[in-house]
Amino acid sequence: MDYNGVLVGLGNPGARYEGTRHNCGFALIDAFVDFGYRHGTVDEMNGGKFSCQLWRVRLPRLDGCWLAAKPQTFMNLSGQCVQPLLSWHKLKAADLVVAHDELDIPPGELRFKFGGGNAGHNGLKSITELLGTPDFYRLRMGIGRPPHKGDVTNWVLGRPQGEDAENLDHILPLALDVLFAFADKGLDSAVRLAGKTTRPRKPVRQTANAEASNNSPEASATPQNKDNT
């Protein structure tokens, strides 16, 4: 079967990581698949050979069929899912859209781009290394930076609270609109639409350490030699 594209949402597997900032890519896949069930057709596929959860989504707004995947590797091994997934389906890096959290974008905002660096994101780094190219599309979902510079790990593995959580809920439908704009009209349209997103209001953030003690996964939960950030 021919596919128009592949949407991969990045995150860490397991209940302990559900709802964390680092898993906003997973949240977008959930929203995309749910939209597919309501407005098109969705087939759940066997993604075991690619170490991922995998769906085939047909939507009129996509003018065809897309694959949607949630890697079940840890974040820094995401390429071990993406590379064989593309290879098996005879797709190129340029057919790939990766949805991921972005520290350098304020919560509630989106950006869309093609290629570029990884900005320290281990999931993007793994994908770039195993594909042998950075030339794929990125749907960047803003999570902002922690109040204290050294708390990045606790921040991305923490669960947003209050207005910060509302910001994530706010951008999920907007992110779908950006994806549909890309599928329908191409890169420039998606870039313009993503650039129009603004924070609904400035979140009042807890410190990352406070969030870590209340609701983030324990560092000891990370398997040895695997980085979940």
pLDDT attached to residue 198: 67
The domain spans of the chain are 5-218
pLDDT tens, residue by residue, 147-175: 887 789 999 999 999 888 898 888 999 99
pLDDT band at 202 (very low <50, low <70, confident <90, very high): low
Does 37 appear as a known binding residue? no
CA–CA distance, 220 with 226 (Å, rounded to integer): 11
What DSSP line would sit under 177-199, residue for residue? HHHHHHHHH-HHHHHHHHHT---
Q: Are the CB atoms for 70 and 24 separated by under 8 Å?
A: no
pTM of the model: 0.86
Q: What is the mean pLDDT of residues 3-21?
A: 96
How deeply is 162 buried, as exposed, middle or buried, from its count of CB atoms within 10 A (0-12, 13-18, 19+)?
exposed
For residue 208, pLDDT beyond 70:
no
Q: Are the CB atoms for 4 and 40 separated by under 8 Å?
A: no
Q: Are the CB atoms for 110 and 175 separated by under 8 Å?
A: yes
Does 50 appear as a known binding residue? no
Q: What is the mean pLDDT of residues 124-137?
A: 98
Lowest mean pLDDT among 39-53, 75-89, 149-163, 199-213: 199-213
Residue 201's nearest CA partner among 170, 224, 159 is 170
Pick the CATH number of 5-218 from 3.30.1440.10, 3.40.50.970, 3.40.50.1470, 3.40.50.720: 3.40.50.1470
- Catalytic residues, by residue number, are 22
Strand partners for 42: 57
The C-alpha angle 192, 196, 197, rounded to 5 degrees, equals 130
Does 74 appear as a known binding residue? yes
Does 122 appear as a known binding residue? yes
Q: Give me the torsion for CA of 34, 89, 111, 11, rounded to 10°.
A: 60
Lowest mean pLDDT among 29-43, 126-140, 202-216: 202-216
